[in-house]
Structure 1
């Protein structure tokens, strides 16, 4: 077959939001300066059989009793605050990069030129303010705490810009913000968003943020680091392995990054209260793995590639929301080459 014109079979973009791992500490709300690293604890527990049984067992009380009597022995990792600690401290850094006009790899000069024109027009007409505000909101509302956010009495987020000569501080009460609402704002959020937008829109500048979050969850309460994916379940004796770095309980940088880019409210089903999942993470197919659903399908022409392939070649997208979505995926980064056959 003849090779298509204006097709980049090698096309990749570096991610522009780069979080570190999040390190977990315990402290008292009234004395946050004396935080100590949290370590993982190993527990061995005897559980009960609670999975669905085969129909034959359901109908036979004797067989059911024999099945229930079998011990469900488990060794698991756990993590909790100390007896006198009532507050979880989570600390990480976030680097925001510019250079959206430049793919990290592109093997077609014509495509690269039309793509750069599309990005340039987006920056001139719409700018990065909408995306930046949503990223700033997810920092302010402490979405990155994930399960640790629920049941917290108070959550305080402190953000510092570390760039030399441009130091700045922000402080947020995370519970003032509804994580499902991407339209709210306040002067502090707008100020942080301006910094993020300026870095994203730049050619080669960057912004380094230092983020510390305090969540008052209660004395000696469990906290939840990231859980490791066990690829070979035949090895080892633990049924749950939590993440730690040098003995300090931690959250994966990928999990923190996923929370910060949970900004997509532009997918079609978001407007339907019966099917909406709230804001979802920016993904080429709108994939939400815990729901087992892709909210942006090629069949509906709502996925990243359906928009990107025409937009990057100079055609206009009707809705500003679709352009925001495309730029959000580019901030996420990835490999998006197209077959030239």
Structure 2
């Protein structure tokens, strides 16, 4: 038996886009107005590092005196509002470890048996606690969390549109660099984790639905930070910065929200702060892959587990299952 050439998994944490609204701190159920994306033109300076080889120094030095004219997108709170509200929904899907595509039946049966044993042993509780912590601490706010004076997070469990549970958290009271449960929030986090674990443990077709709302006190009229669009070909007149918007309303990509939720990997070699679960532990903002070693990346761990009957250690099993939850295409290449 060998790793199938076709092996794929659907993601099991499925967030929606997060939309931005503006209001007043404390008026949780008041009227909130959408945060709109608008353009502005600015007159900046040239500050990037210029090549020492070209152009000619005699021409390069005068060029840095010129203005750097650009058009950018911005999003900010109105002058009458001091709080940003960010809201999204999150589906937790069952059927973890069940491939959406696999062209080797024997391999699939062995894989499902290993996942069933993990489910029986852990109930997905450890992973669920970490996902719950990342909801409660507001990690999904990214730069907006760093710029806020206060952050409150509310999570609702919805069943057929009706509220089946609600939890509230002071995001700044929860740690960002580990997943210890503060005593004051332990009960609420355990209850939230139980809902998430229940969704992950569901057979294929089952799920749980959460509605997540974060309130970040930024200050009246302050700038807020939606996702930035990646424009590969801007052309000669393209904007220098394009922000993500849904029908003009500022928002955050579901992919960026999902990246924050799966920032739970503290099992990589020499682990420090949590990183997002990735097969090679890649952190593109740092230009680093923390799981390049041949015995700690996802593929080597899975190969040892499935093909060599070497059951990984507990932390490595958590990582492999978290990668299944992440989803992706993991088949082996048929080319040598």
- The normalised TM-score by structure 2 is 0.93
Structure 1 runs not aligned, ≥5 long: 271-275
The SS at the match of 1:234 is coil
* Residues 259-270 of structure 1 aligned to structure 2 (within 5 Å): 259-270=260-271
CA distance in 1, matches of 2:307, 2:125: 24
* Residues 172-183 of structure 1 aligned to structure 2 (within 5 Å): 172-183=169-180
**Aligned match of 1:114:** 110
Q: How many residues align?
A: 329
Distance 1:24 1:166, change over 3 A: closer
* Residues 1-341 of structure 1 aligned to structure 2 (within 5 Å): 5-32=1-28, 33-55=30-52, 66-164=62-160, 167-185=164-182, 186-204=186-204, 205-234=206-235, 236-270=237-271, 276=272, 278-297=273-292, 299-313=293-307, 315-339=309-333
Listed one character per residue, the Cα deviations across residues 93-150 of structure 1 (whole Å, up to 9, x for unaligned) are 0000001242111111110111011001111112200000000000000000000001
The SS at the match of 2:270 is helix
CA distance in 2, matches of 1:47, 1:252: 28
CA distance in 2, matches of 1:284, 1:340: 19
Further displaced range: 185-194 or 70-79: 185-194
Q: Could you say what the CA RMSD is over the residues aligned between the two structures, in angstroms? A: 2.0
CA distance in 2, matches of 1:129, 1:118: 17
Please say if residues 57 and 63 of structure 1, whose CA atoms lie closer than 8 Å, have aligned partners that are also in contact. no
The structural deviation recorded for 1:217 is 0.8
Please say if residues 9 and 97 of structure 2, whose CA atoms lie closer than 8 Å, have aligned partners that are also in contact. no
- The normalised TM-score by structure 1 is 0.91
Please say if residues 156 and 163 of structure 2, whose CA atoms lie closer than 8 Å, have aligned partners that are also in contact. no
Listed one character per residue, the Cα deviations across residues 135-172 of structure 1 (whole Å, up to 9, x for unaligned) are 00000000000000013111111111111377111111
The structural deviation recorded for 1:319 is 1.6
The structural deviation recorded for 1:54 is 4.0
Please say if residues 37 and 245 of structure 2, whose CA atoms lie closer than 8 Å, have aligned partners that are also in contact. yes
Listed one character per residue, the Cα deviations across residues 272-296 of structure 1 (whole Å, up to 9, x for unaligned) are xxxx3x1000000000000001000
The structural deviation recorded for 1:55 is 3.9
**Aligned match of 1:273:** none
The SS at the match of 1:31 is coil
The structural deviation recorded for 1:59 is 11
Please say if residues 129 and 190 of structure 2, whose CA atoms lie closer than 8 Å, have aligned partners that are also in contact. yes
Please say if residues 8 and 340 of structure 1, whose CA atoms lie closer than 8 Å, have aligned partners that are also in contact. no
Please say if residues 114 and 314 of structure 1, whose CA atoms lie closer than 8 Å, have aligned partners that are also in contact. no
Please say if residues 142 and 149 of structure 1, whose CA atoms lie closer than 8 Å, have aligned partners that are also in contact. yes
Please say if residues 133 and 193 of structure 1, whose CA atoms lie closer than 8 Å, have aligned partners that are also in contact. yes
CA distance in 2, matches of 1:170, 1:100: 26
The structural deviation recorded for 1:316 is 3.8
